[in-house]
A = this chain, B = another copy of it.
Amino acid sequence: MQSTETLFENIRNDFPILKRTVRDNKPLVYLDNASTTQKPNQVIDSITDYYQNHNANIHRAVYALAEEATEAYEATRDKIANFVNIKDRQEIIFVRGTTEAINLVAYAWGRTHIKEGDIVVTTEYEHHSNIVPWQLVTQEKHAKLEYIGMDDNGELILDDLDKYLATGKVKLVTFSLMSNVLGTITDAQKIIEKCKAAGVLTLIDGAQAVPHMKVDLEKLGCDFFAFSGHKMLGPTGIGVLWVRKSVLETMSPFHGGGDMIREVHKYETTWNDLPYKFEAGTPNIADVVGLGAAIDYLTKIGMDNVREHEIELTKYAIEKLSQVKGLHIYGTKDLSKRGGVISFNFADVHPHDVAQIIDEEGIAVRSGHHCAQVLMERLNVAATSRASFYIYNTKQDIDILVNSLNIVAKVFKL
């Protein structure tokens, strides 16, 4: 076995885009992994191979290609079950991404179970995709949406949760396992414990967690779990919703159409078995296959190694960035409680201007509200700059980032 150090050195060779130069011939330094990740050859090739050799519509046909395509598609379901420890593959639904997953729950579970006066609880550091669907359904049902507050360290104030639970009106508590802005790792175990004691269901937005740390759904004990393929080396257009069977069985269908039905008659229809009841229409077959390849790739590295690599980078980055005069980092500095996402502001320079100036140096960081405007209001800022790491990033990437900030300082006469 190779050492983890060599492992991570060799990884970059698998990612063709990292050989690119941008702007004025600068090597690409990609630090926007919380937004989307790059793809290794293994994933790209799996999609090519699917189209070159096995493409067909799945489930229904008898012929050879359809058999191969169906097998490849369903194999990914098993890989997912293994990867995040799901016992029953029928609980795994393919969706476009985390956003569709959460909206599916809001429509197919929420519209049936949330009634007037009920409460849905979310948190102040959620991505818009875990806020807006709940605004829509609670408004429609004359229910309420409440927020678990965040302390100045970027951690949730769980006393708020106790307060809401005490009303006896909470139907669902929904939260991300890792904040996409601050990197905070939520104490899911504690929240779920409280919710279970109160008989309340829990939804976890795992978009930032699944790509970056070992996640065990059996151990977590939540009821809904969502994540996106494109943030974990997989293709765009594919994601996963997991729902505990006993809850899934209480859900109305979402999209009507092919593959989700058992029998269609003119005026009545019966539904297919799980999970197909929730997978209407031709699915994104090729990208399901690609997601399978991404899971294989991550499994081979080992999620504990991924996490360790990112802790090391985050530690280094916080050290280096803290030395830049006028630079403020948000969130906790306790590395055991955060992932490889660093949001910062640099003196009075607007994050857009920071991003644009360092883009000229080949650096890709995100600036803006990161689809977390409620959190921006809480932090009392319009925007932040955000650097986020993945398996192919190096300390050198961070050095280049830190150096580029000198140019910003010069332009803005800091």
Smallest beta-carbon distance A211→chain B, Å: 13
In the assembled complex, the Cα of A22 lies from the Cα of B17 at a distance in Å of: 35
- Can you name the residue of chain B whose Cβ is closest to the Cβ of A137? B256
Which of B16, B36, B48, B365 touches A282 (beta carbons < 8 Å)?
Answer: B36
If the complex has contacts A133-B255, A256-B106, A281-B98, are A23 and B373 also in contact, measured as CB distance less than 8 A?
A: no
A56 touches B39 (CB 8 A): no
- Can you name the residue of chain B whose Cβ is closest to the Cβ of A147? B266
In the assembled complex, the Cα of A52 lies from the Cα of B374 at a distance in Å of: 35
Q: Does A401 reach chain B (CB closer than 8 Å)?
A: no
List the B side residues contacting A256 at CB < 8 Å.
Answer: 99, 103, 106, 128-129, 131-136
CB proximity to B under 8 Å, residues A265-295: 265-269, 280-287
Q: Does A171 reach chain B (CB closer than 8 Å)?
A: no
Q: Does A324 reach chain B (CB closer than 8 Å)?
A: no
- Can you name the residue of chain B whose Cβ is closest to the Cβ of A60? B368
Which one of A152-160, A233-241, A301-309 is at the interface? A233-241
Oligomer copy total: 2
Smallest beta-carbon distance A105→chain B, Å: 11
List the B side residues contacting A368 at CB < 8 Å.
Answer: 60-61
A99 touches B282 (CB 8 A): yes
B56 touches A51 (CB 8 A): no
- Can you name the residue of chain B whose Cβ is closest to the Cβ of A364? B63
Q: Does A299 reach chain B (CB closer than 8 Å)?
A: no
17 contacts between A and B (CB under 8 A): A16-B52, A22-B63, A39-B51, A44-B47, A47-B48, A61-B364, A62-B356, A62-B359, A64-B364, A96-B284, A98-B281, A99-B281, A128-B258, A129-B257, A129-B258, A132-B280, A237-B283
